[in-house]
Amino acid sequence: MSRPTVSDIKLYSRIDNDIEDSLLLSMENSAYNFICRYVNRPIEADPNAELSDNGIYYTDDIRIAELMLIDWNYNNRSAGANNADIPPAVKFILDIYRICNV
């Protein structure tokens, strides 16, 4: 499963212009990095790659969680947005893969 392209993000978020394509690409990279840190393990998008310790492959549900996170960040990007937590549906999906250090 591949990471979302700008076209995928625009389709999911119902964005019909090209004005913010570079912003969406940055948001995709940021969301992917956030997800890797949140689950506390490396995520490999290449299904043929060998996994490192505790690594997981990028799955359909991780992809959906990433699209949801990008959409949420896109729609709540103003300085006045005060919701510091991630959307509950994203958390629900990612918690399945999360490794918590004790």
The domain segmentation of the chain, as residue ranges, is 6-95
- Report d(CA 18, CA 39) in Å as an integer: 32
Q: What is the pLDDT of residues 64-83, one digit of tens each?
A: 999 999 999 999 887 655 55
Contact status, residue 51 vs residue 4, Cβ threshold 8 Å:
no
Residue 3 structure tokens: 């990471």
Question: Does residue 28 sit in helix, strand or coil?
Answer: helix
Computed over every residue of the chain, the mean pLDDT equals 91
pTM over 0.85: yes
Cα-atom radius of gyration of the chain, to the nearest Å? 14
Contact status, residue 98 vs residue 56, Cβ threshold 8 Å:
no
